[in-house]
Structure 1
Amino acid sequence: MSAEAGAGPARLDVDAIIDDPRTRIVVCCGAGGVGKTTTSAALGLRAAERGRHAVVITVDPARRLAQSLGLESLDGTPRPVPLAEGAQGTMHAMMLDMKRTFDEVVEEHADPERARQILDNPFYKTLSTGFSGTQEYMAMEKLGQLRRSGDWDLIVVDTPPSRSALDFLDAPKRLGRFLDGKLITFLSAPAGKGAFRVLGSGFGLVASVVGKLVGARFLDDLRSFVSAFDTVFGGFQKRAEQTYRLLQEPGAAFVVVAAPDTDALREASYFADRLAADSMPLAGLVVNRVHPLPDGGRLSAAEAERAAEALGGGEGHTLAAAALRLHAERVRLRARERRLCQEALSAHPGLPVAEVAALAEDVHDLDGLRSIGAALADPVRA
């Protein structure tokens, strides 16, 4: 925020975060479409060129982002990013492959024959690609895998583009409870086995009704899946809880990303509240695509419009009058952005903020990402 708007919030010191060797994980979160992926890539690049060995996990990136990283494409394998000559660190980038990550979990925790049964099961194929929360859960799984590998000293996570930013925190627990829960065990249990023998025909009737609702084939696939999946059961909730604890440690830093509009800032405020409730370290807020006033642009909107009116439609004054009216519109837009940010931050006094100016065009190369990183480190002040 500018001096005109008062002291304003504290400035988010991005370099202090990425330069601190104790920082091992940076999570960029927020609503969809606010520039999280670009922010994540820019932070990873800046950290690498300042000496860190960084890996960026991105989710469903546009092809232009891979190209801006100097890569043909991104996949589930961390790929080295070509850095500037003299760069002190290294950078890798990868795209979250939801199904492949799920497959890796199965292969790690089941013997080869049982793993094959699981991977070939139709219910598993649906679960690993289409169930709500699977993508968020697998983002957590991949984060844990990379952290355990020890190959990088900084992991930057671009959270999935969920309907709600809170899905990143909630969905893994929901999926873990589903996989470890009693309902799935009940649905998959043979009617004549164990405690269900006591229910006799009553259980058979329930199973018959459920079978009509979801399909007998579905129940057969589910039973087969659970039978093969038995050795993996119990680990999902445990790993979700382990990752939660990892994200609560001082070595993690959450950066909430927003745009200067009501919905994105409201989502950012909700996320900040949730992080505080879960005792997760919130580093600050990045507000992308703001419209700072040009240097020397100190005329108020009203003053600019009065000056434009004074010029009238006289010969030679048309362009000057149009420029003054354009300035008036820009001043009003900037005032609105400041007001929205102040309203969102009113519930979070002291939260550090970095505002990044809107670009004339999309980022399409490493230099563009470097400019975003530099803007994060020296944010808008006007």
Structure 2
Amino acid sequence: MNAPAVTAASQRRRRPHPLVLLLRWTVLLTLIVAIVATTAIAFAPAPRVAASPLALPRPSGEPVSVAWPEGVARAAGYAVAGMDGTQQRWGDEDAVPMASLTKLVTVLTVLEEHPIEGSDRGAEITLGRADINALGAAIADAAPTVQVFDGMRVSQRDLIEWSIVDSAGNAMWSLANWAFGSIDGYLAAANDWAERHGLADTVVDDPSGLSLESRSTAADMTELALLAVADPIVLQSMGMERVAVPGGSAANTNPILGDGFIDGGKTGTLRVWGRNLLVTAERDIEGEPRRTVAVILGVVTQDAMNAAMLALVDSLWDDFGTVTLLPEGTPVAEYRAPWGGSVQAATAAELQTDAFGQHLPAPAFQPAEAAGAGIAVGAPRGEIGTVSALGIDGEQTQVPVRTDGMLAGPDVGWRLTHPTTAIGWYFD
């Protein structure tokens, strides 16, 4: 049988139509793209996951037990040096006469204008007729004095020590007048100093506190005590047992200096008001030095003042101690991925710190520099930062924070249902 003849028409009938060819190629390319895209999505490198800090528990300490001078004084206050927020006050909230506690304002104001470095004695000052007149005025007011004469040369630090240790009123007048050129100039500077240092209820009307209008509150005087112990010259002067004065030496007017760990202070007395006392005390607690300040205002008798101050200061020591801010294993941060995987990071040890009563520092989480961008999928357990707290001595304590497992990656199902996200990981 003869084969059918091959003609142009028969060849056209056997060749696929161009549209069929286009469809076939389109299907093939689509399959190839789908396979490539699926592969790309399935194997897209998952990004690092950043930490989300968790709310840390805030332990509460016990209230401070204070022996306030009830029935003895008009007002009182205390604070822990170097620890913000510990200032507490009791009694009359009104401003009362500062008496010779005013001298601390004067000394601090002068030292800000004319600072003294280290063991230097400061400027040399030649006293004149105005200083002799100030001596006479102090004697007339029955104030403590030191003997001076016209042309006498003294150091800036002599006048500071005479006024703080021996409470010499004329020495304070001479220091203020020298430092600012006049008493009016001093008063403007002292009241500006008080305002700038947050002593909003303090008014200075004279350098020595002989004026009843030099007034302040227990809260302000407690802050003044903190400012005084922060200045090494003032702190050293307040702690001197005796000071050399013209013609001999004078004992510190603070009768309880050296008792009950009290190592400094300033007295103040006005016959029409009563007795004021500002002290500072330092004691080793659990091997660390802790400094407190206290002030009591408006006491009638010296014995009552001594007993009240010693009791107040002594009542503070048992409120210092070491506390556990965060137990071991406390969750600090969480790494939660958009695909649902999550890992927590927790403290690897107890975070302990020094504290005072209810005043506990807030712990803070700090990621390590290497972990700042997050952790990778499948990364082994490891240290990713620290959690720390600032103790009352200004020292920072910290413990490491470690992840508790490996972060699982996204499965294929999640990747295929979030293709845009997965492809975007190639460009992150």
TM-score range, shorter chain: 0.3 to 0.5
Normalised to the residue count of structure 1, the TM-score between the two structures is 0.34
Which structure is higher in helix share?
A: 1
Normalised to the residue count of structure 2, the TM-score between the two structures is 0.31
Mark the structure with the bigger radius of gyration: 2
